Copies of this chain bind each other. A is one copy, B any other.
Amino acid sequence: MKFYIGVDLGGTNVRTLLVDEKGQTYSEVKESTESENGPEYVVSKIKRMIRTLDYDACNGFENIHGIGVGVPGPVDTVHGTMIMASNLPGFAGYPIASELSEEFDKPVFMDNDANCAGLAEALLGAGKGYPTVYFITVSTGVGGAFIVDGKLISGGRGHAGEIGNMIIKPNGRKQGALNPGAVEAECSGTAITAKAQAILGKDVIKHAGNVFELASEGNAEAKKIADEAIDELSSMLANIAHTVDPHCFVLGGGVMKSRDYFWDTLNEQFNSKIHVGMRNHIPLLLKKLDDCGAIGAAMLPMSQLGE
């Protein structure tokens, strides 16, 4: 059995885990990030947390095969640095991976948290056994990850899977720095909520789940918003399918909690929008694992070392 360390570095908390090659967790240390103290401080904290883990399960730290770090934002995977770090101010460009590899003399790999979650789903979750997996989370934002033969395709600038900015409705809704009519601006949980609040009010609509509830009860306005979002999500899936033809999609994120309302429609529309040769050959699967960021991070060295 091979053992790895996973680090999930978030804006609020840091988690470090001792994980085996099957994803089982043996030891965990969790602390608040205190990112306001800057990257040097936080990386020192991570070093201390890694030293604090209990290595009995693998007979000591020396048997660790590698360390993986998941961070909230696009990563230069070659240099192990963040390219943008809106939730961790001051971390862009900071040599997190090389700091850790020098300290511990182990290979260190880094990728963004959505990619780590996708890797965990591909290796251990719903995508297990499929040669290629496109993982998608539809939640506050819309993000994804593409995994080929157990390895993440991170891209030249760490932006593979940034499908939230795919244009799904030219000249559509504008949200933040995204393209007008971007997926995230049209059919994320946030977008669905905002569209419905504008018509039905903030008292009625607290989150996207309310929109799907009202739609299933026959509310015409909610139904229009919900159905448009599902139509757009099916187009996004079809566009990705024509771009890389994955062996399966794995779908997660808060919006999937309302799947009873849209699952059949999403499947029908997706299949109607792809070439006949792919039709009914690319299953849409539900995410299986909970809270898989740190486990996915621990899978990075296994995946990258080809173990």
Contacts and interface: CB of A to CB of B under 8 A. Distances in A.
A57 interface: no
Contacts of A281: 156-157
B235 A160 contact: no
A235 B163 CA distance: 13
A158 interface: yes
Main DSSP-derived SS at the A contact region: loop
Task: Kindly name the residue among A84, A167, A170 whose own CB sees the greatest number of chain B CB atoms within 10 A.
Answer: A167
B277 A153 contact: no
A158 B276 CA distance: 12
Contacts of A275: 74, 159, 162, 165, 177
A285 to B, nearest CB: 13
Contact of A169 (B162, B166, B170, B278): B170
A154 interface: yes
A118 B26 CA distance: 46
Interface residues of A, number: 49
Contacts of A164: 242
Interface stretch (A100-108, A193-201, A243-251): A243-251
Interface in A141-157: 144, 146, 148, 153-157
Interface string A220-243: 000000000000000100111111
Given A84-B276, A177-B276, A277-B74, A242 B157 contact: no
Nearest to A130: B156
A243 B160 contact: yes
Given A161-B245, A168-B170, 11 more contacts: A74-B275, A146-B243, A156-B246, A157-B282, A159-B278, A160-B245, A162-B275, A165-B275, A167-B168, A243-B243, A244-B244
